[in-house]
Amino acid sequence: MITREEYLKALDIVEAYHEQLNLSGVRRSLSWEDLQAGHKIIFDKVMSKYLTEGKEYTVTRVDTDWKEWYNSWFEITDDRGKKKSLRKHAKGYLVRMA
């Protein structure tokens, strides 16, 4: 059986290890529902000749009701330098967070 002193010593070692790795500063990975202006996205499938599959795009605007509404919109700048708005679940597009 492990003693309380041994347990506390082991806990101190684990905490020191986490501090060493700086695990306290690691942020959780973002989901599509967390999208905000400034985030980077990558298209794995596109239905536009002005977007490139595999290219990283910066989100310039996201509707305020993004988390609540299925058909919310977000905006990026396409390959021509023009603003392009897309729905959250646009058919024919496969998007992921970068």
Residue 18 lies in a domain: no
12-21 confidence digits (pLDDT tens):
888 877 777 7
> Is 27 part of any domain?
no
Amino acid identity of residue 98, one-letter, is A
b/e for 46-62, b at 16 or more Cβ within 10 A? beeeebeeeeebebeeb
In a domain, 4, yes or no: no
Task: Look at the chain and report how many structural domains it folds into.
Answer: 1
Domain span including residue 55: 32-97
At residue 92, what is the residue type?
Answer: G
| Radius of gyration (C-alpha) of the chain in whole angstroms | 21
What is the amino acid identity at position 46?
V
Give the bridge partners for 74, in sequence order.
Answer: 62, 86
pLDDT per residue over 65-92, tens digit each? 999 999 999 999 999 999 999 999 989 9
- Token pair 């509707």: residue: 63
pTM for the full predicted model: 0.68
Residue 64 has pLDDT above 70, yes or no: yes
- Structure confidence by residue, pLDDT tens digits, 46-59: 999 999 999 999 99
